[in-house]
Amino acid sequence: MAVKKNKNIEFKCSLKDVLDIVGGKWSIPIIYTLFDGKKRFSELERTIPNINTRMLVKELKKLEENRIVKREAFATVPPTVEYSLNHKGMMLKPIIMDLHKWGEEFVDQ
């Protein structure tokens, strides 16, 4: 597997690549919110606690580049932009759910 942004030698599996994509502070909250279905920019901003505009833009761009998220813009006034998960992103659902379950079961112990 190719190593992308990370200048380091790849770890013995592609975990590092995965973490580059999904390891940021906001990527999983965004992806999780989109499990629910297509959302507009402002909806995401309202739904995800404590995120700010700049971070949301940045993360969405990154997720789009990694083809986890699909962006659809409509030339309305005012503009409408909708974000949704594509197949690659949807395939993260069971994993994130398992991570959540792990958290519920073990984090407090």
Whether residue 78 is preceded by a cis peptide bond, meaning omega within 30 degrees of 0, is yes
Q: How far is the CB of 59 from DNA (least distance, A)?
A: 7
Amino acid at 11: F
CB of 72 or CB of 101, closer to DNA:
72
- Least distance to DNA, CB of residue 96, Å: 17
Residue 75, contacted partner among a second copy, DNA, none, CB below 5-8 A by kind: none
Residue from 14, 20, 43, 17 nearest 30 by CA: 43
Cα 46 from Cα 11, distance rounded (Å)? 37
55 binds, among a second copy, DNA, none (CB under 5 to 8 A by kind): DNA
Phi-psi region of 96 (alpha: psi -120 to 50; beta: other; left: phi over 0): alpha
Contact of 90 with 31, CB cutoff 8 Å: no
User: Rule CB under 7 A: is residue 26 a binding residue for DNA?
Assistant: yes
Binder of residue 28, out of DNA, a second copy, none (CB less than 5 to 8 A by kind)? a second copy
Which residues are near DNA by CB under 7 A? Answer: 8, 24-26, 40-43, 50-55, 57, 60-61, 71, 73, 78-82
